[in-house]
Each structure stands twice: as C-alpha cells, then as structure tokens.
Amino acid sequence: MEELRNSGIILCQEISEEISYIDVRSNLEDHRISHSSRIVQLNEGYYPQTFRVIIFSDGANLEYFSIEIFKILNYEPIDEYAFDEITWTFSIVDVNGIGKFFQSFSKENFVDSPYKINIPNFIKSIVVLEQAEELLPGDELTLRCEVFSMSFPGKYLITSDTSLARYIRFYEKYEPSLRTDTPAVIMVLQSEERLIRDICNFLINLKDLKNNKIELKSVDLLKQELLKRNKSDELLRAYLAFDPLFQTYRRLERKVMECVNLKEVVEPECLIPWQQLKEKLFQNLHMLTMIPTMVDELHNFVRKLNREKYDEEMQEINQLDKNNDFYDLLLNYLYTTRADNFLKFFIQVVECELENDMEYMEDCSENNGEEQTLIVKTKDHIIFTLPFRRDGEALGSKLISASTFFRDMLECTKNDIAEPVTLRECSQVFLQVLRFLQGEQILTKPIKILYDTYEAADKYLMGEMLQHCADLMKPLLSKENFEEVQFIARVHRDKYLKDIVDAFKDQNIRDETGNLESEKDRIDYILGHLFSPELEYFDFYK
C-alpha cells in the first residue's frame, strides 16, 4: 500500500457543498424522521466518483443527528486498485455564514468496491435547535460538507514496465478496500519461492539417492510425498506452464520419481533444449534475488549441498568488523555478491542434472497429443491454461462439470475453444475457483478475497462453491464486518447467507438496553429506499 502512495502522480481536489435542512424545529418537535441530502461529485481524480451525503434525525430519539455517506455510482476502472484517500469535514453554518462544530472523518475509497461511512452521533439535537433559534422564519439550517481527496493511480497505471509490473502485481495483491488487513503475498512470487525450495530439495535428494545415502523408510516417505503432488502440480501448471522455474521443477521431479521407481509424464511445454531453458532460468532467478526469502533459500541450498564452499563464501562476511562505520554498507555489498555466486552454483548443479536429459525424456509427450485446452485470461493479464481429458480429472474438465456458466459458454461456441476466454475477475479470484475444484482450501484472508470469490461463484453458477463460501464467512463475522456480508447477501438475493447474518445479529448486535437495534435498521431501510436505489442494486459486474 505504501508503495502505491509513493508511486505515480497524485491528483488532489477540494470541493465544498452545502446541505439545506428545512423546518428542523417542526420535525424534531413532531417526532418525525427528517432528512436532507446532497450529491457530491469528485471528477478530478483518476476515476470519477459520485457520492450521496444524507443528514437525518429520528424524531423518536431527540438526542443526535446522524450522517451517512455512500457511493452511488461506480465506474469500471482500468485498475481495480486505484483508490482515493477522502477526508470529509462537516460543520453547521450560522447566520453569518461561518462554520461551527467542525468534525472530520477519513476513509479510503477503492474504485471497484462499495463505500459507506455511518456517523450515528454527529451532533446533539439540542445544539441544532439552539442554532435554529438564530434563524428567521423561512430560513434554512445549513450543513457544510467540505471534501478533500487525494487520488492514487493504482499499480496498472503506475508503470508499463512488464518486469516491475509483474513484481508489484503479485507481491502486494488484494489490498482490502473495506477494512484494514495485512496484504496477502499470493500467486506467482509465493509459488516461485516454493518451486525454488522444491528444486533445491530435489537436487539434494538426487545426490543422496545416487550415493545410496537415503534409508529405505525415507524412500517410502519420499514416494508418498511425490504422489501427493499431482493436484497441486496441475494447479501450478494452470498459470506457470511456461515459467522456467516450473519447467525446471517438473523435469527434476520426473528424474527423482524415476529414481524411486515411479513413472511420471512431463508436459510438452517443459521439453525445451537445456541451453534455452538455462538462459530463461538464470534471468528469472537473477530478478528474484532481490527478495530476501529467495536469497535465504539459495544460502540454505549451498550450505546443505557443499558446506565447504558455503563457509568459504561466507568467511569474509563473518570477519567483518561490526564497529566499522561502513559495516552496513559492506555487509549489503557482500551479501549481494554472495547471492550472485550462490545463484551461479545453483545453476551449475541444475545443469549437471538436466544438461543431457532430452533423450531421457523422449517419451514424455506420448500421452499429450490429444489434449485440448481452455485458455482463460484474467483482468490482470494472467493466462491460465486448463486442459481437458477424457477421464474428467483435468482442471478444464472439472470446471465445465461444476460451472453451468462455462459449460453453456462452450456449448454455444460449438467446441471451438481456440480463442482465450477473457474474464473480469483478477487472477487470485480465479485461482480460488481452481483451488476449490482441486479440493484445496479456499483462502479467507484478507476477507475481501473471500467476498470476491463468493461473487465469482455466483456469476459462474457454481452453487456448491457459493454455499461453501457462505459457510466460510460464518466464523469470520464480527461487529465490524457483518454489514458488509449483509450487503453482499442482499445484492445476490442469497437467503442462505442472509440467514447466517441474521443469526449473528440476533446473538451479537444489541443496543445498550439489550434490545435488537431494530430502530436503526428501520431508519437505514427507509433512507436506503428513499435515497439510494443504486446502493440497493449495486452491480459488481457492470
């Protein structure tokens, strides 16, 4: 998030709107629900945003006036992570046009998500009545609304550099828009880190197997572990098929399996000449050495495989004088240099195993000739390749079996699936769908990814997955987020999810007297129908 704030050009705008409140005294004295509203338009940011501000009072409760702010128009953004930092400052205007009783409220607005601020106790009604006494008959009490917005471009607009965009896109994906959560590091970087770790383990296993240093019991455990990888490997292949790390991983995995008398077929895209793969592998790893966890994996690998070389490389670092004024600078330089040396050593070890393995893998493509694939392109330009097989176990086969949406789409194209299918969802959400199809756990943190996965399940007509997502939301409900889930249930007309929220409210959401907050719900309902039909039918897919 901080990276977004420090990148690109920030567009600032400041506007002021005044909301007239007619006949305040009569409404309060007659115990009526009274209200007034104003449209606030922010047009000078990266995306136009429209909000409605409502000030209202419940005549049955004379204590406070309340304010509600919500977004009523939502434009399809180029980058769903573009956002605004909006500060709302409210004041009551006296007869001389001077503001009093200033209060400010701030909240981030992500362009692709709902936005709502509730201020239940903005100002006491008795204070408003005192101000109204200064007015002449027919005058209007005025609420001044001053808005200051800083608009940030989002990752897509920050850079068109593919390598940097790729790094940013996967390292800090899904900054939540509805509440503050730690960003999850998912997708490619996490997958590549796992692949480096697995490749290192495969290389160590191959060395020990060749030198007969693995006990029979350990070999059995290794076999069990390798056999468990089928589903996760297919999931990785869906979006990493042409990643040099994945191709290297699959070829080494095949070699380890052969050493323990297991048979494995390597995908055709992995069968490229070693020199070509080597060049791509080195370029990929050289970029990843900017990430400390990747460097740690290389350090551990060299220490395990060749302790003498590791000690030799680290000797100069260990001998550094910590009292040296340039200690931190020297340490950083030496670590960078050692990372490059360890990377070269890593490539040399991989080369020893794969340099002459093309003959060894000549039969790998025998069973792949008739494989059809569905190509899916997500909103953030990630390509998923989903194969079909007659046994129905491939990802493409599972998808059309579980989703009426995809099945009908393919039937309409008369089995012509050569063209990519472009989705409006981002790669992490579609990956959640594939994880469900593979029987793997759906991610629930940050909670926004679970919301988006639920919406995708509804859009793709995957009823079983939809209910599963609703069940996952149940233990995550809190006083801070139940309104978000209630909103989602209303948008999708989901009685099952609505019942979950209602049960939570019955058990947890009570006012100070111990009664359910039905009066507040009633006011929200009235105001929602009078002033926010767009909010009632918010369309996530428009």
Between 326 and 63, whose confidence is greater?
63
Q: What is the mean pLDDT of residues 1-14?
A: 60
Distance CA 298, CA 453 (A): 35
Q: Confidence band (pLDDT; 50, 70, 90) for 519?
A: very low
Q: CB neighbours of 418 closer than 8 A, spacing ≥ 6?
A: none
- This prediction's pTM: 0.55
Distances (CA, A) of 350 to 204, 252, 532: 11, 9, 62
Fold of 373-476: Potassium Channel Kv1.1; Chain A (3.30.710)
Which segment of 81-85, 340-344, 433-437 scores lowest on mean pLDDT?
Answer: 81-85
Could you tell me where the beta strands, DSSP code E, fall in 284-432?
Answer: 372-377, 383-388, 421-422
Is the model's pLDDT at 322 over the cut of 90? no
Q: Confidence band (pLDDT; 50, 70, 90) for 496?
A: very high
Q: Confidence band (pLDDT; 50, 70, 90) for 364?
A: very low
Distances (CA, A) of 145 to 41, 53, 87: 12, 9, 10
Is the model's pLDDT at 173 over the cut of 70? no
Distance CA 183, CA 356 (A): 43
Q: What is the pLDDT of residue 482?
A: 86
Backbone angles phi, psi at 67, to 5 degrees: -130, 140
Q: What is the pLDDT of residue 474?
A: 92
Q: What is the mean pLDDT of residues 259-265?
A: 83
Contact between 526 and 33 (Cβ < 8 Å): yes
Strands laid side by side in the 83-93 sheet: 11-21, 141-152, 83-93, 99-110
Closest residue by Cα to residue 539 from 430, 455, 467 = 455
Fold of 13-152: 2.60.210
Domains in the chain: boundaries: 13-152, 184-358, 373-476
Amino acid at 466: L
Is the model's pLDDT at 443 over the cut of 90? no
Between 126 and 414, whose confidence is greater?
126
DSSP string, 241-280: TT-HHHHHHHHHHHHHHHHTT---PPPGGG---HHHHHHH
DSSP β-ladder status, 99-110 and 49-57: unpaired
Containing 153, the helix (H) or strand (E) segment is none
Distance CA 91, CA 52 (A): 17
Q: What is the pLDDT of residue 80?
A: 56
Q: What is the pLDDT of residue 63?
A: 75
